[in-house]
Amino acid sequence: MKRVILLFFCVCITVLSFSQTPEKMSYQAVVRDARNRLVATTRVGMQISILQGSADGNTIYSEVQTPVTNDNGLVSIIIGTGEGFNAIDWSSGPYFIKTEIDPTGGSSYSITGVTQLLSVPYAMHAKSAESITGGIQETDPIYSSSVASGVTSADTVYWNSKLDSYTETDPVFGASAAAGIQSSDITLWNRKPLINYIGGNQNFQVTATGDYDNVRSVSLTVPCDGVCMVTASGYVDWESVNFDVVRLGLLCDKDPNSDYSAVTEWFSYLNILTDYNCADSSDQYTSFSQHRCFAVTAGTHTFTLWANKYSTSVKVKLGDVNLSAIFIPSAIVASTKSESSPMIKQEAIKPESIVVPVKNPESISGD
């Protein structure tokens, strides 16, 4: 007897335009012999069975057909033409399809294949929806707890209730600078961090000895109380012989040439840069960086880097001086704390509280 191999190709639901779900399945398979050659244009005998429960379960339906394979060995049949197919309860699966083939066209089946029917055939089970009667009660706990749960077409009491009776508590928003903004109160609208900057190429020859040179200034207009952090940076070009000394300091809205109190403040934040005891050169450079924090009120403030040198014989030049001012409102740097809405209390940024004066060098020799 010629041995054949059944290659399972596909199973699908045949959908026809009937008024109810058609209970038939389209089945295709490729038949090959023991040498893997196609069994083409040959009438074969087929027995198809539906098994319930397992691959060796009870046979609940069976039919016999004798289709002819095409030039590619493909056989196509429609399953479900026999009696009892329409009575299968597809909800009581799992189900398996068993195929047996006789390549001579008779009933001496020489090969058997069993395959489980998965989701596709169970589309026929959708017909059960046609027999559902009675109402369906919707229970949705999320909807039931919402303010829309009481809205009906005849009762408009709830239509505009929205969230009027609810109070939003958001600790993150409550701690932000925008927490106090209202349509009728615009005093807080501009309470946000601000920054201004001036920099780039600059060559400034320091000439002042008994007085002070204005090296570079930057202004910032702030809308409320807060803190400004000012940073100055650049480099010093040492040009004199034997020793070089330059003294730098930052001030807010003050001129040490006309305000004696500014002199004391400027000297308290003094940087002294020197190449004392270094070899004489005209191309030695030293970088510098200085910053201060100033408590400010609403308005425009000018921050200036002042400089002078030790004596007229000292020759120094400042280059690429960058000056920046960053404003932080008090509404951001300090928050409140209440029993109903506890929040972490942050301390406001304060100007430096510890001042270490730097004195003039007591003894410097040279020109």
Read off the pLDDT of residues 84-138 as tens digits, 9 standing for 90 and up.
Answer: 888 888 888 889 998 888 887 888 887 788 888 875 455 555 555 555 556 566 6
Residues contacting 195, CB < 8 A, separation 6+ = 220, 324, 325, 326, 327
Instruction: Name which residue leads in pLDDT, 235 or 33.
Output: 235
Contact 337, 236 (CB under 8 A): no
pLDDT at 254 over 90: yes
- pLDDT reported for residue 155: 64
Confidence tier at 283 by pLDDT (50, 70, 90)? low
Give the model confidence (pLDDT) of 325-365 as tens digits. Answer: 999 887 654 444 444 444 434 444 444 443 444 444 444 44
- pLDDT reported for residue 309: 87
Give the model confidence (pLDDT) of 301-333 as tens digits. Answer: 999 999 998 888 778 889 999 999 999 887 654
Which residues of the chain does CATH 2.60.40 include?
Answer: 4-131
- pLDDT reported for residue 230: 95
Which range, 101-110, 137-146, 232-241, 289-298, is most confident? 289-298
- pLDDT reported for residue 190: 55
Calculate ∠ Cα 104-33-67, nearest 5°: 40
- pLDDT reported for residue 9: 40
Residue 139 CB neighbours (<10 A)? 6
Contact 81, 24 (CB under 8 A): yes
What 3-state DSSP class applies to 125? Answer: helix
- pLDDT reported for residue 184: 59
- pLDDT reported for residue 63: 92
pLDDT at 292 over 70: yes
Q: Which amino acid is at 275?
A: D
* Domain 4-131 falls under CATH 1.10.3470: no
Can you tell me the distance from the alpha carbon of 289 to that of 77, in angstroms, rounded to the nearest whole number? 89
- pLDDT reported for residue 338: 41
CATH architecture under which domain 194-333 falls: Sandwich (2.60)
Average confidence score pLDDT of the chain:
74
Can you tell me the distance from the alpha carbon of 25 to that of 68, in angstroms, rounded to the nearest whole number? 18
Which residues of the chain does CATH 2.60.120.1340 include?
Answer: 194-333
Average pLDDT in the 159-188 region?
A: 59
Write down the H helix ranges in 29-98.
none
Q: Are strands 271-274 and 245-252 parallel, antiparallel or unpaired?
A: antiparallel
CA dist 267 → 79, 133, 358 (Å): 102, 94, 7
Contact 319, 215 (CB under 8 A): no
Contact 343, 336 (CB under 8 A): yes
CA dist 124 → 12, 128, 130, 194, 310 (Å): 11, 8, 12, 69, 101
Which range, 216-225, 238-247, 267-276, is most confident? 216-225
